[in-house]
A and B are shown apart, each in its own frame.
Chain A
């Protein structure tokens, strides 16, 4: 096994540093059927078909309950480890998945953002780029939230096969070629941002593979993850976290939550996968006594239309975020947006909490960083992190 210090891992941190795991619910998760206003008579008027039955809802209080597949999250809520952040979004929602996701990723609602908010977080956490696995994204795609110039991100689809030119044998030849590769990828001055990015990515890949390869080797657990893509991703994250490589930001996604049609079945399946995956993940961390410094954050690019369309729901505006972990002050934050017809904007819930306020809480209170440059301004934050 390669020495961690040689690879620059874990140089400037300790195993107890706060870690954030972002789970993106891609496609526009339906707020009203996730955190259900089951006691609101309007709910059933708006949702004659696409509703959660009153006898199925997992009640949290006399107004609000969770989707029936979210048992594991309800349990954690009751233990005080889940914050429900109501009515999150931003003004003038474009109701476009892609534009909206960009806005959530970059914190730039008016112009084109090129830097992701978590990319800026990584830059603050590791300003000298001492650890190329400070951020790990479960690929194949690299999420824009993590992209920032000169910030390394290890994008890992399958941690077991993460390596460069692994087919080359014998080892002597492999080392010779990788040595040259490293020299060829060393940034050539003035060759432009695209070449610089490629160069940096190549070097990060080389270094990151050496570091990450130890994670599955070291990992043992009695937790058997349920069988879904999100569970596999969360297991990969657990492996890296438990290897103590100094990773602080993890990213994964699940979907598609774009339930224009057949919503009841799809939403059921997706939320049972997400809930079970989260339970397995935290069980795994608990087993290794490594859960205390991990907060998971769930968001979606928008909520869905208040009225159902007979089979599903169309694109909406205000949504819900969840924050989960022992570092969370459990409870509900903000107000469920008014469902009165006169209070809707083009049939959608009006968000009352800016998504950047939520980010501000995570960045300042959990990660201990100055939130203003990261989220692009000053936002009043909900107080959902234990201090």
Chain B
């Protein structure tokens, strides 16, 4: 086992998952990189998370309906506990892409159903995902397709299908938007029953032939009596769609790109890599699992260490998986779910259909505080088994300031930081005095000193990157 293997595995697990403890990384290095990629791409080989365990503790959160603020707690718990982290990471990817929120939908259950579909179908063909989303009651309500009628077209879904979910601005005309929207008339949801009597009722997709516009449409140069599925087929046949989805995959899994609205006017940072992904999409009929396999095994992926700013979900879930003792459903689960929101990413409630602005835009003075405060608090909590394991690894490396600082940086990444930053940590460790591992006084002993260094490590600028 070499450090470079370990560092590469840590990179893969940060991107294809939510990071991993050192024990897990060492196990995975034994298995090998490509085998690990295969395992991640085959979530069915892992025991699924028993969501009923969570619901036995918190039955209220089964179908929370309209109850504010916490419909995402069960998903957060699943992300903490999954043995198939790529599956949950992809749910997050799609949730960011097909951003749908309770601020308007006002019905957690329906958005959770959508996340469940991402979990089931996320590694499959993008067309199936688009069809699922087009018929998802949450999305239909979110983008008003229930108000898209044969005799009065509502362009919301039709526009965003083209702008946000497939082609991007600049590849279609206003007429295409209208024609596209007409093809989705009659794609609606069944009337919901009255609110507040026995809670929210489930919604269901329904096609109403009498409300569908069957007349001829001309869309992106094709003419015919298209329905929604044929529109999706036409859109997927256009190279801009592959390029657009490729850029999304690149930005989420490889390296930060400018924000999506800028894509129509700014080329990708690495056009060759994005083209490689776009080609893989076209060749595989948009099979996301196949494409992700090619990405994770590519040199451009392996070289892109720490080139993404962690999103808040990665910050919180990554930290919780690292410190452990977070697996049991507990009242804190709700707090952890909220923390992600405090850092600017309230799950199941994105700010708009565009999703969240990512990359460096996750960072501002307020969110940087929340990120630092949360990770620093968790990493210094010696009641957490994962923290104890980290301390034991540091302990095993020695007691000089150099030993302790380097061990902290190693076990928290491995992190490669500039000499100036390491010097600061070293200076701090020296000022704390010799680490006496036999001194176990709370707040002053060896472990307490080591956690102070860990708090500084997670406060580093470099720690904001994945």
Interface residues of A (CB under 8 A from B): 26-27, 94-99, 101-102, 110-112, 137, 139-142, 152-157, 162-168, 173, 176-177, 180-181, 183-185, 188, 191, 194-195, 197-199, 201-202, 204-205, 208-209, 256, 258, 260-261, 309-312, 314-315, 346
**Complex contact A141–B369 (CB within 8 A):** no
B464 near A167 with CB under 8 A, answer no
Known: A164-B369, A184-B460, A201-B365. A260 touches B143 (CB 8 A): yes
Per a CB cutoff under 8 Å, which of A157, A177, A188 touches B452? Answer: A177
Q: Which residues of chain B from 137 to 193 have a CB within 8 Å of any chain A CB?
A: 143-144, 146-147, 149, 152-156, 159, 163, 169, 174
Interface CB pairs A-B, < 8 A, 26: A96-B261, A97-B354, A102-B259, A102-B261, A112-B258, A139-B364, A140-B344, A154-B366, A155-B364, A164-B373, A165-B376, A180-B424, A184-B421, A184-B461, A194-B360, A198-B368, A205-B369, A256-B352, A258-B156, A258-B352, A260-B147, A261-B147, A309-B154, A310-B147, A311-B144, A314-B156
Residues in chain B within 8 A of chain A (CB atoms):
103-104, 143-144, 146-147, 149, 152-156, 159, 163, 169, 174, 258-262, 264-266, 309, 341-344, 351-354, 357, 360-361, 363-369, 372-373, 376-377, 418, 420-421, 424-425, 428, 431, 452, 455-456, 459-461, 464
Given contacts A165-B459, A197-B363, A309-B154, contact A256 B104 (CB under 8 A): yes
Instruction: Tell whether, in the assembled complex, residue B377 and residue A154 are in contact, meaning their CB atoms are under 8 Å apart.
Output: no
A182 to chain B, nearest CB (A): 10
Determine the chain B residues whose CB is within 8 A of the CB of A201 once the complex forms.
Answer: 363-365, 368
In Å, the complex CA distance between A380 and B357 comes to 33
The 9 closest A-B CB pairs, nearest first, are A155-B364, A142-B364, A205-B365, A98-B261, A155-B366, A260-B144, A261-B144, A310-B152, A260-B156
Contact of A142 among B155, B343, B361 (CB under 8 A): B361
A residues within 8 A CB of B159?
A: 95-96, 315
Closest Cβ neighbor of A106 among chain B residues = B262
Chain A proximity of B96: nearest CB distance (Å): 14
Contacts of B428 in A (CB 8 A): 176, 180
Q: Which residue of A lies closest to B343 (CB)?
A: A140
B459–chain A nearest beta-carbon distance, Å: 6
A167 close to B373 (CB less than 8 A): yes
Q: Are A99 and B169 in contact (CB under 8 A)?
A: yes
Q: A140-B367, A176-B428, A197-B363 are in contact. List 4 more A-B contacts (CB 8 A).
A: A26-B352, A139-B366, A164-B372, A260-B143
Residues of B within 8 A of A209 (CB): 369
Residues in B whose Cβ lies below 8 Å from that of A314: 154-156
Contact A157 B342 (CB under 8 A): yes
Contacts of B369 in A (CB 8 A): 162-164, 205, 209
Q: Interface majority SS on B: helix, strand, loop or mixed?
A: helix
What is the distance, in angstroms, from B176's C-beta to the closest C-beta of chain A?
12
Q: From residue B94, how far is it (CB to closest CB) to chain A in Å?
A: 18
Q: Do A153 and B455 touch (CB < 8 A)?
A: no
- Which residues from chain A contact B455 at a C-beta distance below 8 Å? 165, 168, 177
Question: Within 8 Å CB of B258, what residues of A?
Answer: 112
Cβ contacts under 8 Å, A184 to chain B: 421, 424-425, 456, 459-461
Using CB atoms, name the residue of chain A closest to B361: A142
A contact residues around B367 at 8 Å (CB): 139-140, 155
Interface pair B103/A256, CB less than 8 Å apart = yes
Q: Which one of A152, A163, A188, A346 contacts B420 once the chains associate, using CB atoms below 8 Å?
A: A188
Using Cβ atoms and an 8 Å threshold, which residues of chain A touch B366?
Answer: 139-140, 154-157, 162, 205
Tell me how far the C-beta of A326 lies from the nearest C-beta in chain B, rounded to whole angstroms. Answer: 31
Q: Are A312 and B147 in contact (CB under 8 A)?
A: yes
Residue of B146, B174, B262, B461 near A95 (CB, 8 A) is B174
- Complex CA gap A96/B354 in Å reads 10
Identify B163's interface contact among A96, A194, A199, A261, CB under 8 A. Answer: A96
Q: Which has the most chain A C-beta neighbours within 10 Å: B103, B265, B418?
A: B265
The residues of B that contact A111 with a CB separation of less than 8 Å are: 265
B343 cross-chain contacts in A, Cβ below 8 A: 140
Whether A167 and B144, one on each chain, are in contact in the complex, defined by CB atoms closer than 8 angstroms, is no
Q: Which of A96, A140, A195, A256 contacts B169 (CB 8 A)?
A: A96
Contacts of B262 in A (CB 8 A): 102, 112
The reply to whether B265 and A112 contact each other, CB–CB distance below 8 Å, is yes
How far, in Å, is A147 (CB) from chain B's closest CB? 8
Which chain B positions have C-beta within 8 A of A180?
Answer: 424, 428, 456
Residues of the B chain whose Cβ atoms lie less than 8 Å from the Cβ of A94: 169
| Cross-chain contact A165 with B372 (CB below 8 angstroms) | yes
CB neighbours of B372 from chain A (8 A): 164-165
Q: How far is the CB of B317 from chain A (nearest CB, A)?
A: 18
Instruction: Write the nearest CB–CB distance from B126 to chain A, whole angstroms.
Output: 21
Task: Say how far A341's CB is from chain B's closest CB, in angstroms.
Answer: 17
Chain B residues closer than 8 Å to A256, beta-carbon distance: 103-104, 352
Task: Kindly provide the distance from the CB of A273 to the nearest chain B CB, expressed in whole angstroms.
Answer: 14
> What's the Cα separation between A94 and B366 when bound, in Å?
32
User: In the bound complex, do residue B461 and residue A198 qualify as a contact, i.e. CB atoms below 8 Å apart?
Assistant: yes
CA A140 – CA B42 in complex, angstroms?
36
Instruction: Report B-chain residues with C-beta under 8 Å of the C-beta of A315.
Output: 155, 159
CB within 8 Å for A260 and B154 given contacts A141-B344, A164-B373: yes
In whole angstroms, how far apart are the Cα atoms of A228 and B296 in the complex? 46
List the A residue with the shortest CB-CB distance to B163.
A96
Residues in B with CB closer than 8 Å to A137 are 364
Q: Please give me the residue from chain B that is nearest to A197 by CB atom.
A: B360
CB-defined contacts of A312 to chain B, threshold 8 Å: 144, 147, 154
Cβ distance B341 to chain A, nearest Cβ, rounded Å: 8
Residues of chain B lying within 8 A (CB to CB) of residue A195: 461
A122 to nearest B CB, angstroms?
Answer: 14
Choose among B159, B163, B364 the residue with the greatest number of A CB atoms under 10 Å from its CB. B364
Q: Which chain B residue lies CB-closest to A159?
A: B366
Contact call A208/B365, Cβ cutoff below 8 A: yes
A27 to B144, CA, bound (A): 14
- In angstroms, how far is the closest chain B Cβ from the Cβ of A303? 15
C-alpha gap A81/B152 in the complex (Å): 40
B residues near A101, Cβ cutoff 8 Å: 261
A111's closest neighbor in chain B, by CB? B265
Q: How far is the CB of B344 from chain A (nearest CB, A)?
A: 4
Q: In the docked arrangement, what's the CA distance between A110 and B149, Å?
A: 35
Question: Measured between C-beta atoms, what is the minimum distance from B424 to chain A in Å?
Answer: 5
**Residues of A close to B357: CB separation below 8 A:** 141
Q: Is the CB–CB distance between A98 and B104 below 8 Å?
A: no
CB distance from B182 to the nearest CB of A (A): 12
> Which single residue of chain A is at the shortest CB-CB distance from B312?
A140
Please judge, given known A-B contacts A99-B169, A165-B455, A167-B373, whether A155 and B365 are in contact too, CB under 8 Å.
Answer: yes
